[in-house]
Amino acid sequence: MALPNTPNKFSASRTRPSWRRYQQKLRRDGRWRLGRRKHLLGLAVFVLIAAIWWIFADPWSDTAKRSIPLPPPAAQTEPQLFSKADIRNLLAEYPLEAILSGPLNVSFGERSLRVESTIDADLQNFLQGKLYRRTSRYIAIVVVGAQQGQVLAMVNFAREGRAPNPSLTSDFPAASLFKIVTAAAAVEKCGYSSQTPLAFNGASHTLYKSQLKNVRNRYTRHTTLEKAFAGSVNPVFGKIGRHCLGREKLQHYADQFGFNQPIAFELELPASRTDITDEPYQWAEISSGFNQQTMISPLHGAMLAAVVPAEGRLVEPTIIRRVTDQSGVDLYHPQFTSARAVSPDTARELSRLMRRTVSHGTARKIFRRRHRDKVLSQLTIGGKTGSIDTRDHDARYDWFVGFADGPEQADAIAVAVLVAHEKFIGRRAGEYARLAMREYFRPRLERRSKAANANPGLKQSPDMKAADHAD
Of the candidates 200, 198, 120, 429, the one whose C-alpha atom is nearest the C-alpha of residue 301 is 429
Has residue 214 been placed in a domain?
Answer: yes
Q: What percent of the chain has pLDDT over 70?
A: 80
Has residue 22 been placed in a domain?
Answer: no
pLDDT value of position 452: 78
**What DSSP element (H or E) covers 451?**
helix 429-454
Q: What pLDDT digit, counting tens, does each position of 412-446 carry?
A: 999 999 999 999 999 999 999 999 999 999 999 99
- The top-scoring range by mean pLDDT among 349-353, 448-452, 457-461 is 349-353
d(CA 137, CA 139): 7
d(CA 425, CA 68): 68
Has residue 207 been placed in a domain?
Answer: yes
Has residue 232 been placed in a domain?
Answer: yes
Has residue 361 been placed in a domain?
Answer: yes
Beta bridge partners of 173: 295
| Reported confidence tier of residue 73, pLDDT bands at 50, 70, 90 | very low
pLDDT (mean) for 395-401 = 97
- The top-scoring range by mean pLDDT among 295-299, 425-429, 467-471 is 295-299
d(CA 154, CA 128): 9
Residue 229: phi and psi, rounded to 5, are -70, -45
- Listed in sequence order, the DSSP H helices in 151-306 are 179-189, 225-230, 234-239, 246-256, 280-288, 298-306
What is the 3 state secondary structure string of 96-130?
HHHHHCCCEEEEECCEEEEEEECCCHHHHHHHHHC
Please give the residue range of the domain that contains residue 408: 84-468
pLDDT value of position 14: 42
Contact (Cβ atoms closer than 8 angstroms) between residue 299 and residue 270 = no
Has residue 74 been placed in a domain?
Answer: no
Has residue 38 been placed in a domain?
Answer: no
pLDDT value of position 89: 93
Q: What pLDDT digit, counting tens, does each position of 139-167 carry?
A: 999 999 999 999 999 999 999 888 889 99
Contact (Cβ atoms closer than 8 angstroms) between residue 118 and residue 152 = yes
Q: What pLDDT digit, counting tens, does each position of 99-139 carry?
A: 999 899 998 888 899 999 999 999 999 999 999 999 999 99
| Domain count for the chain | 1
Alpha-carbon dihedral angle through residues 419, 424, 428, 432, given to the nearest 10 degrees: -70
Q: What is the CATH number of the domain that holds 161?
A: 3.40.710.10
Task: For residue 211, give the amino acid letter.
Answer: Q
Contacts of residue 318, Cβ cutoff 8 Å, sequence gap at least 6:
84, 118, 148, 149, 150, 151, 265, 266, 334, 336
Has residue 447 been placed in a domain?
Answer: yes
Contact (Cβ atoms closer than 8 angstroms) between residue 276 and residue 250 = yes
pLDDT value of position 94: 93
